[in-house]
Amino acid sequence: AALYENELDVGKAIQDSGVPRQDIFLATKLHPDKEGYDSTLRAVRSQLKLLHTDYVDLYLIHAPNSKIVETWDALLAAQRAGLARSVGVSNFGVKHLEALKKHRRPMPAVNQVEMHPLVYKSRAKLVQFCKDNGVLVQAYGALWGP
């Protein structure tokens, strides 16, 4: 993810591994400071260069922003151009997903959210919304807790 400033190292590690690119599932995320159509497309291309690849398997919006629809449209364009095989979101709540639905946009393939025993019940509505709309829920922080 761009926020973690590790894409150059990840790209080099993939190159040095000797593992064929098609045998690696590579995902990354849009930096939270990037939003809007043009900024997002520039970021995608820049990140692909850092990763030393011409596509990623999954590209996520790291967090909701003030230009959700325009940013999402850019990811859909990146997918159509072959820069991302699948596109999704991270840290989106129901209201953010509803904004995409209201504007008649395709739903994300994935919504990556914090999910562990301490927050599971509070995420029930979100999980159900995702299930009802064909969005896979991917957990991060699954082992957190006391």
The residues that are catalytic are 4
Q: What is the mean pLDDT of residues 110-123?
A: 93
Q: Which string of DSSP letters, residue by residue, matches 24-61?
A: S--EEEE-TT--SHHHHHHHHHHHHHHTT-S-EEEEEE
How high is the pLDDT of residue 143? 85
Note the pLDDT tens digit of each residue in 11-20.
999 999 999 9
Q: Which domains does the chain have, with CATH numbers?
A: 2-107 (3.20.20.100)
The number of beta carbons lying within 10 Å of the beta carbon of residue 144 is: 12
How high is the pLDDT of residue 11? 96
Note the pLDDT tens digit of each residue in 29-85.
999 999 999 999 999 999 999 999 999 999 999 999 999 999 999 999 999 999 999
